[in-house]
Amino acid sequence: MAETGQSTATLRLKVGDLQIAHPLTVPTRPVAATAVLPALEGLVNAVVEAAEKGKAISCRKGCGACCRQLVPISRTEGEALLALIEAMPRERRKAVRTRFAAAEAAIARAGLAERATRSDRESARSDRALSLAYFALGVPCPFLEKESCSIHPDRPLVCREYLVTSPAELCAGPAQEGVTPVPVPKLSAGARRLQDESDTWFPLALLFAWSRKRPVSAKRRPGTEWVQRFLGSLTSLKS
């Protein structure tokens, strides 16, 4: 049973060939969009579990090649990650921020910062050349430690959606030839349009660059309304 002030409903979602029945619990009171992120993470996890069923997944702890890709995240995820970093012990927070600064500097030196954050971000997302150029830099995700994700339970939605069945060593190839991702419906695209359609995504490695110019105010809506907005953005989703 849901706690007072919360609403629970079983979401039945058909995405491509997958049919998902998953309970979502969200606050009924007006909240920031970050308050419904755990529910969306659970939904994405359920979709991924259904998509990978019966497949031999190659991804393992300690295999961090994919953690050097351009990782697109939403404003909502960015706000949640900033809060996560702020809650870290002082020394750990300092180390993480240092890694973010190094990543931002490397991306700027390569001349990719503007391309990766341009206003036409939807085109940038499909820019294969940008993705390959970013990957060629070899810039590790600032949360990567000992080739493993140090915030695995709180990792971005798109990270949850990326799994491969091909040999893990292929993932480090410059063009990632032979890599076979599991076809997972990209529900993460819905989060990118959750708060503001004109602010779709930015690279995770540029989190602090984004934070310096992000919108100051954020709307508060009932949790159920946030979920409705998320689902509404998925109407044209293709597997």
DSSP string, 169-230: GGGGSTT-TT--B-----THHHHTTSS-TT---EEGGGHHHHHTTS-S----EEHHHHHHHH
Q: Which residue did the predictor score with more confidence, 237 or 233?
A: 233
3-state secondary structure of 43: helix
Q: Which residue did the predictor score with more confidence, 20 or 126?
A: 20
Q: Which residue did the predictor score with more confidence, 14 or 146?
A: 146
- Summarised one tens digit per residue, pLDDT across range 157-216 is 999 999 999 998 899 888 888 999 999 988 998 888 888 765 578 999 999 999 998 877
Residue 237 has a pLDDT of 52
User: Residue 150 pLDDT more than 90?
Assistant: yes
Assess contact for 87 and 54: CB atoms under 8 A: no
The whole-angstrom separation of Cα 42 and Cα 28 is 18
Both tokens assigned to 24 = 């979502």
Q: Which residue did the predictor score with more confidence, 215 or 93?
A: 93
Torsion angle of C-alpha atoms 159, 165, 171, 175, degrees rounded to 10: -100
Per-residue confidence band for 119, with pLDDT thresholds at 50, 70 and 90: very low
Q: What is the mean pLDDT of residues 137-155?
A: 96
Assess contact for 47 and 160: CB atoms under 8 A: no
